[in-house]
Amino acid sequence: MSGFIFSSESVSEGHPDKVCDFIADSILDAHLEQDPYSHVACEVLCKDEQVVLAGEITSSASVDVESIAREAIREIGYTEGRFHADRVTVHKFLGAQSEHIHRGVVQAGEIGAGDQGLVFGFATRETPELMPLPISLAHGIMRALTKSRKDGRAPWLRPDSKAQVSVRYQDGKPVEVTDVVVSTQHAEGTSQETIRDFVGSELLPKSLGSWWNPAIRQFVNPTGIFAIGGPEGDCGVTGRKIIVDTYGGYARHGGGAFSGKDATKVDRSAAYFARFVARQIVLRGIAECAEIQIAYAIGVPQPISIWVDTRGTGDPGLAAQYARQFDFRPGAIIEQLDLRKPVYRSTTNYGHFGKPGLEWEK
């Protein structure tokens, strides 16, 4: 562990998988706005002119899911080409949640876990937002690129893009950024020289801040032309960017996706709460780094196991003792983090953690 290089990636809101995540979370929020007790598990697939909505929704809300999907696509910026907000065909395969699952999960007013499974939470002193540096920087590049597209600074930019950042660590601490990969969709006819000059002279110095160094190796649109992107260039599906959504691979992932799921699904709510508890461990000085695993059985409120690792930066026994003081029942998590509110569209892009204003980041 004396020295190593670690890499993480982020993707823009126009990436085909993220288009699907954003549509799913937009549909979730639309239901919660009318009925905070909606049960939503919405999956989305996008390809060319086709958008498929599938899953289970039990709610008293009346929502035009097709209009919600089109508006989400328009907000991202797909208003030209084959994948166009006004011209896609929306296929709906949405039913109600299984009554057997509902009865098994909600018993005597107590909410049990919506499924078996495990989740992880993580926090580290590496950055002010208590996130690993590689994923934090990758998200920053994507945010800056999207802002440049939307405010007209680089009008040739198009919605689909991704970035990858490699950071050198020494004795467990980040010391320098070694490599950055940026691939961005662009308008037909945009020269590669224009794109590389923008990335190297404006985007990276601005988004990397104090971590910027002219010696960083840059790989900009390594394949050359990237004029066809988004769901026109690649099929998108919800839940395929779970590492981008969390810690960039620097911490473990339980395997469950977030987007399109209401808070009774512990894949989402318990992962948010595990992050909240990991942050408290670090903020209170119990450890410089904390990783938590929580495991559930379907229909059972109490977790079947809680595990804490401080990666040698603090007393794991003390950290575990502190963590077990929290109430990890799904109903308690929903109340403590106020998860019946329609906040999920704000989580979809550039990571579900490290953003100010979210209840689990307070």
Q: Which residues contact 89 (CB under 8 A, 6 or more apart)?
A: 49, 50, 51
pTM: 0.95
| Residue-level pLDDT at 184 | 98
| Residue-level pLDDT at 107 | 63
| Residue-level pLDDT at 115 | 81
Q: Say which DSSP state 203 is in.
A: I
- What are 7's two structure tokens? 């890499």
| Residue-level pLDDT at 299 | 87
| Residue-level pLDDT at 257 | 97
β-pair partners for 56 = 41, 95
Mean of the pLDDT values across residues 144-149? 98
User: Could you give the CA distance from residue 28 to residue 133 in angstroms, rounded to a whole number?
Assistant: 31
Please list, residue by residue across 251-281, b when 16 or more beta carbons sit within 10 angstroms of its beta carbon and e when fewer do. bbbbebbbbbbbbbbbbbbbbbbbbbbbbbb
- What are 257's two structure tokens? 């996706």
- Residue 352's pLDDT band (cuts 50, 70, 90): very high
Mean of the pLDDT values across residues 322-336? 96
Mean of the pLDDT values across residues 141-158? 97
- What are 253's two structure tokens? 């992932």
pLDDT per residue over 50-77, tens digit each?
Answer: 999 999 999 999 999 999 999 999 999 9
